[in-house]
Amino acid sequence: MIDLTFVATVLAGGAGAGLRYVVDALVMRGRPDRFPLGIFLVNVTGSFALSLLLGLELQPVWNSVIGVGLLGGYTTFSAVSVETVLLIQRRRRRRALLNAVGTLAATVAAVGLGVLLGLLITVGY
């Protein structure tokens, strides 16, 4: 028997990966050797959305489909790592450091904001 939550999570993961591609392509259009702002925005918005989702305390199936599937496919730490190494190889060390440290700081801040907002919505403030 096929588990529908599994199938929905897999399909949502594909949709999330496609969404990541579109967002990155739109943000980086005409800026191929600049700071990787597209992936940065993907990871910050994805971290915020995931923490908001968890803060809302929805049914576990939604955490799987939206959190693991859609947002798991959307966000990507590996792309941050690759972009950081590429910046180092291009001798753009400051941008590489900003990408690595900035992504970590911004995503942690986004998670904090998402959790707070989720709690406020759940409690009803």
> pLDDT by residue (tens digit) across 4-19?
999 999 999 999 999 9
**Residues whose CB is less than 8 angstroms from the CB of residue 116 and which lie 6 or more positions away in sequence, other chains included:** 55
Annotated binding site: 72, 75
Annotated binding site for Na(+): 72, 75
> How many Cα atoms are found within 13 Å in the side-chain-facing hemisphere of 117?
12
d(CA 10, CA 57): 21
| Number of structural domains the chain divides into | 1
> pLDDT by residue (tens digit) across 67-97?
999 999 999 888 899 999 999 999 999 999 9
Whether the pTM exceeds 0.85: the reply is yes
Domain of 20 in residue numbering reads as 4-123
